[in-house]
A and B are shown apart, each in its own frame.
Chain A
């Protein structure tokens, strides 16, 4: 049976697993943006917090994924369900690039522009929301892009703790020494990563403000 036949025969299961995968990554990324962007802003406002926040995110980033699942397993509410566990872990991985790019984006806003904004009588919040964040959008999106591609890859390991996703096929294929099964997980996962990268880079370019 050719690979194509295999994909056609199992299209429902593959589609189902792809949706699960997208769901795991999507929820993780939403959480990571919701937490990471404010943390990135805090880092620029209180430089003394930059070490603990970026350091913490950096540590999360370096823990191997299976080990991270292991660490999270005993945590009461999180450990109770595989998807909670996986989403938390993926979110932790996504945090670093988002925090870092948010703070880089904000601190690279032209000093003269910030000075003018302050001198005209804009409040700190007005400067943040109307000047600094809009000018940082492309940089923040670049961080989101890196984080998304990263989590799409790591999410394949979610199957190890029973959270589903495209990793199911890979793990089953590995166990049964079945190449087609492995590829049924690997190919859609790779395609998903490429697609996410493409869409987010388009968005990044669209939202790039006029250059000065």
Chain B
């Protein structure tokens, strides 16, 4: 099943498209669709070095968002992570109800201490986990989310929000405004 609701929203950020020659007026929107994903039962490692089973982590019934970033990435990751931090701040005391998961696409470099430093730089609160792990496992997670990047330099800005009511995922492609991310999160029925 695939319900595609491509929404055009003004003032939003999609970066210059290298592959296509997107005319200027096409910039400033993100794509949204609702998808179903089968999460692979892999074991990843969080910023504290603890092993976590991804499937149980994501399908716990708690609201959860997932993005793919890495510690030394330019431009895309700072924006995605600023969005996560912003969501946590906006939700204030409610922020513990929201589980934010970042998964590194550079497990070669991103060891748990590096993940931990990264979270600290963004003043992440509890409830934001940054996961690393076996490259093979992470490849499979990316593939499961239809977000496979052959190389970290082919990275694209993607965020996923799980709708607890039926387990489907909202797929957001593009760099969003802070307020739109908060809104997408609320709409997904998570709050």
Q: Do A and B bind each other?
A: no
Residues of chain A touching chain B, judged by Cβ–Cβ distance below 8 Å, are none
